A = this chain, B = another copy of it.
Amino acid sequence: MDTNDLAGNVLDPNCPSRVVFQRIGDKWASLVIQVLGDGPVRFSELRKMVNVVTPKVLTQTLRALERDGLITRTVYAQVPPRVEYGLTDLGESLLQPLTLLRRWAESHVPTILEARDAYDDAQDEALLGSPN
């Protein structure tokens, strides 16, 4: 039944849909996904590209994404070891909404920053006006 209980879904913080939003908001997950959009990357490469994240945190991020079926982890039986991460089809399909969001972000962030300044200034003035 395709009732419009979509709204009801979104409002429920326990709704599984929220796992996606949480991934997006995750500090590294969305970055990793977008990096992998250009093709498979090794662990150490990923570390460098994603601006020196500690191995523990990167591993956590990667495992979570792998568990969600968004990325693949391929181990090559070599010495020294070599592990490559890449997007699954599911992961690739996320690329588009992600890119759209990124474009929105990049074009509107200046406005947001201005709004913040204005808001903070207004707060300061209000405090000066009634210090007591």
Contacts and interface: CB of A to CB of B under 8 A. Distances in A.
Interface residues of A, number: 56
B97 A100 contact: yes
A75 interface: no
| Interface SS majority for chain A | helix
Contacts of A26: 25
Interface of A: 6-7, 9-13, 16-28, 30-31, 34-35, 38, 49-51, 66-70, 90, 93-94, 97-98, 100-106, 108-109, 111-116, 118-120
27 contacts: A6-B106, A7-B35, A10-B34, A11-B34, A11-B49, A11-B50, A11-B51, A13-B31, A17-B105, A17-B106, A19-B109, A20-B101, A20-B108, A20-B109, A22-B25, A68-B115, A68-B116, A69-B111, A69-B115, A69-B116, A69-B118, A69-B119, A94-B108, A97-B101, A97-B103, A100-B100, A100-B101
